Structure formats: structure tokens, C-alpha cells
Chain A
């Protein structure tokens, strides 16, 4: 009896919701989120990778590779030029502009081979390049050894140019992930503000590479005739996010847009993503330093739709077979970077959602847009059914990395200098 006054209004509300088509609140199963600051005081943390027991390898862009053990102890493993608190310092690993140490991945057979991989800029060769390093971790997790650079020739921007963010070291991509489906390492790269690179058959910038653990081309890569066999897809701008659909293994990447059109793309083996910022083609004339990537007006605001018509991220007129984006951030560029899937019942209705992080830019009338989006993406990755914002406890931040931990929680590294654990409850 005492419950009736409560139950009647509730049942009446649900009935009303059904009748008028409102979301049925009573049936929604969206988790409440809490957060824990796992590490703070970091310098531009860039990526993380986990072992099943919670051991977390992480990179700081201008410092190097470290590992946080399950008891919270941190060991600094491989430092870059100018660091002094790492077990090993590699003076060829350099930090400049946007470049430095980026992605980290753990070998699927770590228990047997104790191998990890990192992506980093290096001055070992001239001009500088970005490289993928293979390292062996000792049993105490306090040293790495046996460095082997399995990819040595990813282009690096050697000098400043007349472009926004035009300093040397720009547009490196840098995310590395093993596919749980095929076991190969996927390496994302960037265009260096160099218009020749994205469509080049030989230069590895503006690409997604698919390689084995020795850096050799993966069996089954199908780039066009004459392309470097390590190339899985080409025609990219600056890919900083890659993940794999939990049901199909479909690789999905995020693409920074140039003042317009951040993109989510499902990769097709051998496919062209359609980025070609060369001057004097596709209706364009000359461009600053031969790169049209921010044209037609690279330093002042204008309608993103006009920009997209002039310098499309996916140029389907020039390249009709280009991979078309599943989603284009409503035509805006807000620094879309990391991508990950939420997996597990703990995520309720968000189980299976693609999440993407935005670092935020705020140029030319576009809102800064720092956030994590929850995206209901089709299994084939070709379309999205719904896009929502994740109500993260820390609020706005430059979300640089998103990784699902072995505990089923979400970990995010933010440029502000922290790594957070986000727990669904």
C-alpha cells in the first residue's frame, strides 16, 4: 500500500514515454562513471599498453618509455635525448614540434618473448625519420635491451613551412596496435605537410602500414602495383587512432581534419583514403610551400563546407574508389585522435560502442570540442547509427589516448599530464 503513490506516477510516466515516443528512461542501462587519477605530473603522455595483470607501459612524448607495475611502482625504461632518469637513454630519440615518442604496443606473445614496440622520431639517419623500435623487457621490468628498429624509414618533417602548426616535426601519425584478428602490427603515419607523401607509392608517410614483428610486410597486403609492400592503406593525412571492431576485427581509424571534417574510416586492404593536398590539381592553383592542406584560406576562419569543397579530406572526384568515411564530425575539425571500443557487460548499453577522443582546436568559429564521443558504428564500419558525448568525470581535456584496460575499465591519457582510469558503475 505504501508504495502505490510512488508506483502509479512511475508507471504513468513510463506509459507516457512509450506513447509519445520519448526514450524509455526506465529501460536505459547507461553506466555512471567514476574516475581515478592513475598517474599525474607527466609530460605529454601519449599512449599506453597493458598486460593482463594491469602492468601498464606508457610513453611521454619528450621523455620516453616507462612502465607502471600493478603495485603502483614506476620504472623508467628507455629515455630520449636529454633525459637522465631512465635505465637506458637513447640519444638519437628526439622531440621536436609534434614529434617524439608516440605509440606503444605489447607483443601478443609477451609471456614468451617479453617484447614491446614503440614509435619514435630519431636522428640516427639523416634526414631524421620516424621509426618503430622493438625492445625486450627484462624480468624485473626495470630495463629494456636488444633494440631493433623494425621500421626505419617513416618520413619526418625536417624544416618549418608556411602552414598552421608549420614547425618541423609535424604530422607523424604514430599509433601502433596489434590486430587481435590477424596478429599483425598496424602502424599509422602522417603527411609531414608534404603534398607528395600521401599518394606516394614509396614514401611511408600518410599511410597505415601492416607488418610482422620483424617489420616485414604482412602476408596479404594488397597495395597497388609498385607500392611498398608494407603499405596497407594510403592517402591519409595524420592518423592518430586505430582500433579493431570487437566482433569482426575490422580495422577502423580516425583522421585529423584540416580546419574541417575529422573522419572515422573503416580500412580496406590496399585502399586509398583520398587525401591529396598537391597544388595545381583538382581545381587548385599554387599553395604555400606546395602544400594545399589548409587552403583556400589557411590562417583565417571560413565556412568548413567551403573548405571541404576546395580541399576535401576524401577526394572522391579525383579518386572515385576512395574509402568513404563512416562519420565526418559534422564537417568540423576538432582534433580527433584516439579510438577504442568499449567491451564488456560493465558498460551496459555502451558495450560495443566505438569511442573517439578529441583534443580540441577552436579555430575560425568552430568550438574547441574537447570530449570523448560514444559512437554506435555498424559492424562493417561504413556507417554510424548514433553519436553521443560520453559524460566523463574529468570534463574537458586534450584526450590523447584511449585504451581499454584488462580490468574492463577505460584508461585515457590527456595532454594536461595525467592518465586516468574511468570506471563504469
Chain B
């Protein structure tokens, strides 16, 4: 039982961490500089009407980007985020999440 439970936990952890391990933070940094920094700031600190992303975890960033990519509104800046997210691939989102999460630490 103990062995099976350990294996189950380990498998879950591995599966859960797989996307982050595969994420390319360097690619995320490049994409962030091109598409995000002009509003959210070079260090994701937020500027003016555009919220800070510092301290947000990868799950939050991924969820929001997937929501915007699906064309769903979240907040008063959705009109800007939806077109920005429309063409993001799963890898783009994972890369952005990996970079943003680290940049805010």
C-alpha cells in the first residue's frame, strides 16, 4: 500500500510538473518583451491601468491566457487581452507562464 501510494504521488507530481519542465523561459522572455512588456512593464510590475503580474503563479497565468484565447471576457481590459492571446499556442502560454512566474520572484 505504501509503495503504491508513493508511486501514485510521485506520478502525480511528475505529471503536474511536466509542463513547467518543458517550458522554455527564454522563449517566454522574448514573447513577453514583444507582446506584454509595453503594458505590464518590463518586470511585470504593472503600469497605469495594466495590472501587476508579479507574484502570480503559473497556473493563474495559464488559466487567464487560456480564457482570453477562448475569447472570454475577464475584467475591463479584455478587449486588449483577447486579441493578444488569440494566436498563442499551448507552448507559448507555458513559456510565458514560466517566465512571468520567475520574473516576479
Contacts and interface: CB of A to CB of B under 8 A. Distances in A.
Interface stretch (B24-32, B39-47, B92-100): B39-47
A217 interface: no
Given A164-B79, A299-B79, A301-B83, A370 B38 contact: yes
Nearest to B50: A415
Nearest to A300: B79
B35 to A, nearest CB: 9
B4 interface: no
A165 B76 contact: yes
Contacts of A363: 79-80, 83
A33 interface: no
B48 A417 contact: no
B33 to A, nearest CB: 11
B63 interface: no
Given A98-B48, A416-B47, A396 B76 contact: no
Given A97-B49, A359-B48, A398-B48, A416 B76 contact: no
B76 A167 contact: yes
B47 A44 contact: yes
Sort chain A's interface into a size bin: 20 to 34
Contact of A416 (B42, B77, B78, B79): B42
A377 B45 CA distance: 37
A160 interface: yes
A160 B45 contact: no
B38 A396 contact: yes
A368 B49 contact: no
A54 interface: no
Contacts of A370: 38
B38 A98 contact: no
B49 A360 contact: no
Given A44-B48, A98-B49, A164 B41 contact: no
Interface string B70-85: 0000001111100100
A360 B38 contact: yes
Contacts of A164: 76-77, 79-80
A98 B47 CA distance: 10
A362 interface: yes
Contact of B47 (A163, A299, A398): A398
Contacts of B48: 44, 61, 98, 359, 398, 400, 415
Given A398-B48, A416-B47, A165 B38 contact: no
A166 interface: yes
Smallest CB-CB A-B distances: 6 pairs: A299-B79, A415-B47, A166-B76, A167-B76, A164-B79, A415-B48
Interface of A: 44, 61, 97-98, 160, 163-167, 298-301, 359-364, 368, 370, 396, 398, 400, 415-417
Given A160-B76, A417-B41, 10 more contacts: A164-B80, A166-B76, A299-B78, A362-B38, A363-B80, A363-B83, A368-B38, A398-B47, A398-B48, A415-B48
14 contacts: A164-B80, A165-B49, A166-B76, A361-B80, A362-B80, A363-B79, A368-B38, A370-B38, A396-B38, A398-B47, A398-B48, A415-B48, A416-B41, A416-B47
